[in-house]
Structure 1
Amino acid sequence: MQEDRVERDFSARSEDEQQAFLQETWCDHCQEANLGMKNPQEYLYKGVVFIEGECNRCANVVLTELTDDDF
Structure 2
Amino acid sequence: MTELLEEQVVPRDFYARSAEEQEDFLAQTWCNHCQEIDLGMVNPKEFESKDRIWIEGECVKCGNTTVTEIVEDDE
Give TM class, smaller chain: 0.7 to 0.9
Correspondence for 1:63 among 64, 67, 74: 67
Normalised by the length of structure 2, the TM-score is 0.83
Structure 1: where are the runs of 5+ without partners? none
**Where does structure 1 differ by over 4 angstroms across 4 or more consecutive aligned residues?**
none
Question: In terms of Rg, which structure is larger?
Answer: 2
Normalised by the length of structure 1, the TM-score is 0.88
Distance 2:34 2:9 in 1: 27
Distance 1:9 1:58 in 2: 25
In proportion to residue count, which structure has more strand? 1
Structure 2: where are the runs of 5+ without partners? 1-6
Residue correspondences, number: 68
Identity over aligned pairs, percent: 53
In proportion to residue count, which structure has more helix? 1
CA RMSD of aligned residues (A): 1.6
